[in-house]
Amino acid sequence: MSQSLKDHLGRPVVVVTGIGVVTSLGEGKEDNWRNLTSGVSGVRRISRFPTAGLRTQIAGLIDWQGDGPYCSPLHSLALARKSASEAIAQSAIGTRGSFPGPLFLAVSPAETKWDQRMEIYRGADGAGRSGYERLIKNAAEGEYDHYYSLFQFGSIAEHLADEFGSKGQPISLTTACASGASSMQLGVEAIRRGDTDAALCIGTDGEICEEMVVRFTLLSALSTQNDDPPGASKPFSRSRDGFVMAEGSATLVLESYDAAKARGAKILGVVRGTGERADTFHRTRSKPDGSAIIETITRSMTDAGMSPDDIDCINAHGTSTPENDKMEYLALSEALGGELGNTPISSNKSMIGHTLSAAGAIESAISLLTINAGVIPPTINCIEQDPNILMDVVPNVKRDQEVNVVMSNSFGFGGQNVCLIFSAEPE
Amino acid sequence: MTTEKSEVWVTGIGLVSSLGEGLETHWEQLTCGKPPLASVNNTDQAPYPVHPIVDFDISAQIPKRSDQRQMGQWQHLGTYTAGLALADAGIAQDAELLAATNMIVAAGGGERDIEVDSAIMDELDASDNPGERLNASLMSELRPTLFLAQLSNLMAGNISIVHGVTDSSRTFMGEEMAGVSAIETAVAQIQKGQGELFLVGGAYIAERGDMTMLMALGNALWEGEHGPVWSREGSDGGMIMGSAGAFLVLESAEHAQARGIRPYARIKQVVSGRCNRQAGAARKSADELLEKVSAQLPQGQLPVLSGCCGIEPQLSEEHEFLDGLANLGIDPAIRGVTTILGNTMEAQFPVNVALASLSVSKGAFFDPFDDSGVEQEYGGNLDRILISSWGHWRGESLALIDTPDGPLRGTA
């Protein structure tokens, strides 16, 4: 090999050579980018199931991708297939059906949903049984092998590993709303260890169903602005009232710089650094002083060998909940200090909604598209910015600006905090 | 980055199962000169026997009632067991070390509220408008804490909150293989200097109808009397699910030596693979894994802990694979851990590593777990144990746990 590029800590440099995206804004990078930079929202009224009686009736749903009735793991799988196919095709890595590295999949826990529970319950009469007794009896006596394998928590990753031929045992992971960013971390770490030259990092989430809406409603986490679906997700706005659930998937093909160069691959960007710090304060809230998030952000800059003035823009976690946006601003003000004033920050969730397990991967993809295009997508629905959030949130209209370095934040329930830093290809 | 690999030591173990709590309890019962008596509940999930978790004093590791109320039994068990491991490793209450402790938890999900689910199913079945009925029932019956108790990554979240573990925090899913990948990843990270201190493990509660339903969908459960796992060979097979929590503190040798803590054992190697489980494929996958560890295996008698879950044909395939060690001149002394503890799912591999580390630290092996004739007596010194853990649906793995240089835990 003619060249071997190491980072400031002597580790192999990790680059991205393939990107695939599917969201409520469309399939593929082109559609998504066009809609993101045009300020289009993918949020609409939920049509998948009856919403009567639900406080939230809107979401960034993607229409069910398969034959037969909606089935959540099959939908998540279908979305992941689309984004992975796009990313692998762009990267032109390996051979068809043989990806030369491990799979790290950020995915929602594949629990059995009410549709299947009732199908099984009604599969045979209960012969006097009710509740779980009837359910379990029918489960054992009916023909349900397909559900047995589909609702294993490792199921989606196993199907993807079969299809794309990733190497070794695939890893399914969850860190709640930081999952997509965690899949990137695991890929970066594996390449930096020298365990592999390539990694397939996927985030997918197609799990919107009645119970998911109710669960988040009970935590008062969701926007209830049902009358204006496209206007409901309004990160950093004074009247923000919660996040909007959404579906989507993104895939990033990671490679060592050396391996990508050796095979002549086009480099779409570099993963410069990752940072993480778990919070101990509360199951759904950050420490009031923001210290865990602050350290997450500072650690990502240390890992990247960068300082606040190196960051050209920030892809916010920006969920549109009162709590998140306030805490994200507080943490960024501490971690970036005065530089925050010179750093535009935008929330893709204003348009896509919050894709939960997939969000960190989707926002990684968009961060790289931002660098490549020299265009920062806007934070839409910013009619009246929260007067206590003094940041340049790129309100409503995209901005043309040369961008070399993007920071992307992801925070999740359970004290999960991850920050990633991307840059353009090294000169 | 240095290419020199750090050794990975097991410096703390938390273990609670259907047999009891703590390493010494397990050692006593598994070395008492006769097959240990498994704890079995035949009624809770009838017609499927399960191994129930022993009573444990939640407040000993989760002192705040406000914390206890935010969790179900699965999170209680994991958080409790993690606390035991941290205390055992001398990390508990040490803010500096806890802030440098990385965590990888192998998780399924928390238990559903069986009563609420049952009532809703019965209602929906009788309703003319089940869609709206479901919304109304969910809105009135679900509690916010139930969602948090079900979230897979909230076992890790609770460990952070209750015990203060705050470096990286990752949760792996995927049944038995989640436990394997968690430990395999932590070992790789320590070996290559991506962290010196890890808390890794998982927990599983067998007495829960939602998981019984999932396993019943694939006819994966053993119906009838509890007995040695090997006695299910040649039948339709099936699993007896077991309850256990197992957490390990893994540490680089340098880090452990610097703070003066002795290891139970060293994790020499963890390897994993996958196949589609067509006939013979798992055996082939395991044979490929064996090639990666065989250089470390001596001729003669070798103690082996097997996680064979009891489903056929993989039970027979795993048994054939272990008998095939004879081709390398190895005479395996096998212990089918599932005979005594059941399949503890995400916790299975961490349980096996905990038991292997205990055995290495004692320099002796467990007595045969049954009288099926499959499990030979093991005599003489013990310096390494091979673990064979396969997933009930997907994934195969092998691990080698051995004796590091220098004094071990419990020795003078």
Lookup result for tokens 């007794």: A133
CB contact under 8 A, B180 and A169: yes
Cα–Cα distance list, A57 to A60, A81, A86, A218, B57 (Å)? 11, 28, 31, 14, 43
Cα–Cα distance list, A41 to A11, A36, A37, A69, B182 (Å)? 40, 8, 11, 26, 38
Give the CA count within 13 Å in the CB-facing half-sphere of B359. 31
CB contact under 8 A, A52 and B174: no
Coil, strand or helix: which one is B396? strand
Catalytic residues of A, by residue number, are 177, 317, 354
A414 touches chain B (CB under 8 A): yes
B131 touches chain A (CB under 8 A): yes
CA–CA separation, A51 and A217 (whole Å): 13
Lookup result for tokens 């070794």: A168
CB contact under 8 A, A193 and B192: yes
Nearest Cα neighbor of B165 from B103, B88, B77 is B103
Q: Tell me how crowded residue B57 is: count the other CB atoms within 10 A of its CB.
A: 9
Considering only CB atoms, A112 lies closest to which of B114, B158, B214, namely B214
CA–CA separation, A177 and A414 (whole Å): 10
CB-defined contacts A:B, below 8 A? 250
Answer yes or no: pTM beyond 0.80: yes
CB contact under 8 A, B170 and A135: no
Angle between helices B281-293 and B314-323 (to 10 degrees): 30
Considering only CB atoms, B138 lies closest to which of A170, A182, A210, namely A210
Residue pair A335/A385 in contact (Cβ under 8 Å)? The answer is no
Radius of gyration of chain B (CA): 21
Residue ranges, chain B, pLDDT below 50: 1-2
Considering only CB atoms, A193 lies closest to which of B134, B171, B194, namely B194
Measure in Å the smallest separation between the Cα of B108 and chain A Cα atoms.
7
For A107, the closest chain B residue by CA position comes to: B173
Phi then psi dihedrals of residue A136, to 5 deg: -70, -40
Task: State in words which class domain A14-111+151-423 has.
Answer: alpha beta
- Which tokens hold the place of B302? 């070798």
Among residues 192-211 of chain B, which lie with CB inside 8 Å of chain A? Answer: 192, 194, 209-210
Considering only CB atoms, A277 lies closest to which of B166, B189, B219, namely B166
Instruction: Report the pLDDT value the prediction gives residue A65, as an integer from 0 to 100.
Output: 86
Residue B246 amino acid letter: A
CB contact under 8 A, A284 and B164: no
B180 touches chain A (CB under 8 A): yes
Q: Quick: pLDDT tens for A267-309.
A: 999 999 999 999 998 999 999 999 999 999 999 999 999 999 9
CB contact under 8 A, A182 and B216: no
CB contact under 8 A, B107 and A193: no
Measure in Å the smallest separation between the Cα of A11 and chain B Cα atoms.
6
Spatial CB neighbours of B278, under 8 Å, sequence gap ≥ 6: none
Among residues 65-124 of chain B, which lie with CB inside 8 Å of chain A? Answer: 70, 103, 107-109, 114-115, 117-122, 124
Considering only CB atoms, B142 lies closest to which of A118, A122, A214, namely A214
A279 touches chain B (CB under 8 A): yes
Coil, strand or helix: which one is B103? strand
Residue-range domain boundaries for chain A = 14-111+151-423, 115-150
B276 touches chain A (CB under 8 A): yes
A50 touches chain B (CB under 8 A): yes
Instruction: Report the pLDDT value the prediction gives residue B412, as an integer from 0 to 100.
Output: 59
B127 touches chain A (CB under 8 A): no
Q: Kindly tell me the burial class for residue B58, based on how many C-beta atoms sit within 10 Å of its own C-beta (0-12, 13-18, 19 or more).
A: middle
CB contact under 8 A, B166 and A157: no
Residue ranges, chain A, pLDDT below 50: 1
Distance of CA A21 to the CA centre of its chain: 10
Residue pair A336/A343 in contact (Cβ under 8 Å)? The answer is yes
Coil, strand or helix: which one is A23? strand
A282 touches chain B (CB under 8 A): yes
Residue B46 amino acid letter: A
Instruction: Report the pLDDT value the prediction gives residue B410, as an integer from 0 to 100.
Output: 81
Give the ranges where B196-313 is alpha helix by DSSP (H).
209-217, 253-258, 281-293
Chain A residues whose CB is inside 8 A of the B117 CB are 117, 131-132
Chain B residues whose CB is inside 8 A of the A152 CB are 174-175, 214, 393-394
| CA geometry: angle B387, B392, B396, nearest 5 deg | 45
For B221, the closest chain A residue by CA position comes to: A140
Chain B residues whose CB is inside 8 A of the A139 CB are 213-214, 216-217
Chain B residues whose CB is inside 8 A of the A171 CB are 172, 174, 181, 185
Spatial CB neighbours of B180, under 8 Å, sequence gap ≥ 6: A169, B270, B272, B349, B389, B395, B397, B399
Residue A281 amino acid letter: F
Residue pair B63/B227 in contact (Cβ under 8 Å)? The answer is no
Measure in Å the smallest separation between the Cα of A276 and chain B Cα atoms.
6
Residue pair A357/A246 in contact (Cβ under 8 Å)? The answer is no
Helix or strand holding residue B92 (H, E): none
A107 touches chain B (CB under 8 A): yes
Radius of gyration of chain A (CA): 21
Q: Kindly tell me the burial class for residue A153, based on how many C-beta atoms sit within 10 Å of its own C-beta (0-12, 13-18, 19 or more).
A: buried
First to last CA, chain A: 19
- Which tokens hold the place of B260? 């003066």
Chain A residues whose CB is inside 8 A of the B118 CB are 130-132, 135
Nearest Cα neighbor of A147 from B174, B111, B218, B391 is B218
DSSP track, A255-284: EEHHHHHHTTPPP-EEEEEEEE----S-SS
Instruction: Report the pLDDT value the prediction gives residue B1, as an integer from 0 to 100.
Output: 44
CA–CA separation, A275 and A277 (whole Å): 7
Instruction: Report the pLDDT value the prediction gives residue B2, as an integer from 0 to 100.
Output: 46
CB contact under 8 A, B121 and A117: yes
CB contact under 8 A, B194 and A186: no
Spatial CB neighbours of B378, under 8 Å, sequence gap ≥ 6: B301, B303, B333, B365
CB contact under 8 A, B274 and A49: no
Among residues 190-249 of chain A, which lie with CB inside 8 Å of chain B? Answer: 190, 192-195, 210-211, 214-219
Measure in Å the smallest separation between the Cα of A153 and chain B Cα atoms.
5
